[in-house]
Amino acid sequence: MGRKLTNFAVNHPKWVVLLVLLVTALSMVRVHTIQVDTDPENMLSETEWVRVFHNEVKKEFVLSDMIVVGVVNETDPDGVFNPATLGKVYRITEGIKGIPGVVVQDLMAPSTVDDILQAGLGSVRFQYLMEAPPEDRAEARHIRDRAMANPLLYGTLVSEDGKALAIYVPIETKSIAHRVSVAIQDLLRAEPAGDEAYHITGLPVAEDTFGVQMFQQMAVSAPLAGLLVFLLMLFFFRKLVLVTAPMVVAIFTVAATMGALISTGHTVHIMSSMIPIFLMPISVVDSVHILSVFFDRYQQYKDRRKTLQVVMGELFMPMLYTSLTTAAGFGSLAMTPIPPVRTFGLFVALGVGVAWVFTVTLVPAYIMLFISDKKLENFGTTAHGEDDEGHSPLARMLVWGGRLTRQHAKLWLGLTGVVLAISAYGITRIQINDNPVKWFVKDHPIRVADRVLN
């Protein structure tokens, strides 16, 4: 099979390129129907009992996910209960009411929550805690005193020291949390500067923002990973036209795999967004093996076709076995009960298979089609002298390392055992981070807001 594939690739390189383009295009035929899901809750199956029960309770009690807007004033002697700050809180609350997706009837803020007052003997009266912005400090302090005297508001809507208050913003669905939080930030920026500090947090904001930023990071990290691999190969092989081949394989592999994922109706979840950054380095591994042996053999034969046949004959089975074992490792994730992890494992396994097929066909075809023998005159290990490779800094370091390992084999085995023992102890001290707020760095606004408001 290896000989037939190699002969087809070197004898019909244009057909190989055409077939690779066709397969990639077919896999991306429905890529326009992409659906993105940033909700970590969907890591669980829809039939998982804890998720079913959770949704039943939310429906029974008409509960909404909440965004928390904290307002803190530690400069004013009356804290947040001064006319300027309360006026801003009132305007911000009115602006939040106009944001699409906000459940206005459940919005909790000083101007929307009920205060209970005695209206006479045997009767009570309900009215908003802050029906209008206070005109002076006396009115602001009166609002504070009423809030502090209400056990439903004390310590929840307002802090015990009066220096902070919260606006609880219920939203229709978690998937709009990031959009709503951005709209609230626009309202906060529209207010004149003062002594107040504003914080936006809440579980839906943390989850949705993490999902959005995760996708943004993957959009940057995957190309950067590809660029790093490209620069390393260029450093080792010193032929731009040659190292372009593995990058072409990687790009087509990622495009075909993600296209197949989307075109088969799978949602691109947070886990799925990581597939390109996994496939980018995996896709070039076999290509590097081919280029490395091609580098060693070319000056011996000085013929691309003959050199490729020798190289592929030597590497075909090892590359097949390593690709199969890698695909099997990722494919084993198909047995997990977490749908996005199953999708991730299966499509990375598919990508590994696609990368292998593209490598053993496209790389030889690329060399035959775009690299002439003239361009390879100075290419190969003997191009600069027989002993050049043996005297390179890397070669000298490898020789020294090999000698050290042979002479002190027992020492290295003992050190390996010590490292394994320390690692085993470290595993026993593992701590699971299941708090989405702590998925962010310590100085992230959501993490700061969580710390300050708590």
pLDDT at 169 over 90: yes
Residue scoring higher pLDDT (2 or 83): 83
Q: Residue 62 phi/psi, 5° resolution?
A: 50, 55
Please tell me the number of Cα atoms within 13 Å of 429 on its side-chain side. Answer: 5
pLDDT at 425 over 80: yes
The H or E element spanning position 164 is: strand 164-171
DSSP per-residue string spanning 254-315: HHHHHHHHHHTT--B-TTGGGHHHHHHHHHHHHHHHHHHHHHHHHHHH--HHHHHHHHHHHH
pLDDT at 389 over 60: no
pLDDT at 420 over 80: yes
pLDDT at 290 over 60: yes
Read off the DSSP letter of residue 157.
T
Three-state DSSP at 168 gives strand
Of 17-21, 86-90, 93-97, 291-295, the range with the lowest mean pLDDT is: 291-295
User: What whole-number distance in Å separates Cα of residue 343 and Cα of residue 330?
Assistant: 10
Task: Report the pLDDT value the prediction gives residue 188, as an integer from 0 to 100.
Answer: 94
Both tokens of 145, joined, read 């005193």
Q: What order of strands is seen across the sheet that includes strand 164-171?
A: 164-171, 65-72, 197-201
By percentage, how much of the chain surpasses pLDDT 70? 96
Ranked by mean pLDDT, the top range of 168-172, 306-310, 374-378, 449-453 is 168-172
pLDDT at 138 over 90: yes
Q: Mean pLDDT of all residues in the chain? A: 88
Q: What is the CATH number of domain 65-201?
A: 3.30.70
**Most distant pair of Cα atoms in the chain: their distance:** 108
pLDDT confidence bin for 387, thresholds 50/70/90: very low
Contact between 312 and 6 (Cβ < 8 Å): yes
DSSP per-residue string spanning 332-368: GGGGSS-HHHHHHHHHHHHHHHHHHHHHHHHHHHHHH
pLDDT confidence bin for 408, thresholds 50/70/90: very high
Task: For domain 2-43+217-384, say whether CATH 1.20.1640.10 is its number.
Answer: yes
Task: Report the pLDDT value the prediction gives residue 392, as an integer from 0 to 100.
Answer: 66
Mean pLDDT, residues 145-153 taken together: 89
Mean pLDDT, residues 369-394 taken together: 64
User: What whole-number distance in Å separates Cα of residue 148 and Cα of residue 153?
Assistant: 7
- For the purposes of burial, counting CB atoms within 10 Å of the CB of 370, is it exposed (0-12), middle (13-18) or buried (19 or more)? middle
User: What whole-number distance in Å separates Cα of residue 108 and Cα of residue 125?
Assistant: 19
- At 413, which amino acid appears? L
pLDDT confidence bin for 36, thresholds 50/70/90: confident
What residues does each domain of the chain span?
2-43+217-384, 65-201
Both tokens of 270, joined, read 């947070």
